[in-house]
Copies of this chain bind each other. A is one copy, B any other.
Amino acid sequence: MAILDPNAERRCRDSFARQQAMTTIGASVLSVAAGEVELAMPFSEKLTQQHGFIHAGIVTMLCDTACGFAALSLMPEDAAVLTTEFKVNLLSPAIGERLIARGKVVRPGRKLMVCLGEVFAEEGGKRKQVALMTASMMVMDTSTGLRD
């Protein structure tokens, strides 16, 4: 994988900070590398579905963001990132002390980047995988008015 552009980590962290949804769910950035980003989120009852697990949509939100920033870390300075599609297989109930989402770029295309995402539930220092994502991230140019 390419070396991390010195500006890429700053761009990802700045863009993350502008995502109010990330603040709402209490998410934070664990690490930013070239084409790979890890985020974390503490368990919260406010984000549960009817059986007491974190809602699949929240699991997806964390993982989509990790994949999006993994893609952004490899994009030129004047590009913005937009998710065009993702698919999530839910492997186990999302329950534990916190969730960790890791997004990796599998195919860094010029127009589309394909990412693989994994979400783990952490409890007592142990991790169990709860979700598997594949996603397409579009490289948007500045003529669209989007910035990252």
Q: Contact check, B91 vs A114: say whether CB atoms are below 8 A apart.
A: yes
A57 interfacial contact with B, CB 8 Å: yes
Q: Contact check, A48 vs B21: say whether CB atoms are below 8 A apart.
A: yes
A126 interfacial contact with B, CB 8 Å: no
Query: Which one, B58, B64, B82, B129, contacts A21 given CB within 8 A?
Result: B58
- Copies of this chain: 4
A119 to B49, CA, bound (A): 19
A85 interfacial contact with B, CB 8 Å: yes
By DSSP majority rule, is chain A's interface helix, strand, loop, or mixed?
A: mixed
Interface residues of A in 58-97 (CB under 8 A from B): 58, 60-62, 64-65, 80, 82-92
List B contacts of A148 (CB < 8 A).
50
A15 to B136, CA, bound (A): 27
List B contacts of A87 (CB < 8 A).
85-88, 134
A55 interfacial contact with B, CB 8 Å: yes
List B contacts of A90 (CB < 8 A).
82-85
Q: 9 A–B contact pairs at CB < 8 A?
A: A49-B65, A51-B147, A55-B61, A57-B60, A57-B64, A85-B134, A86-B87, A86-B88, A87-B134
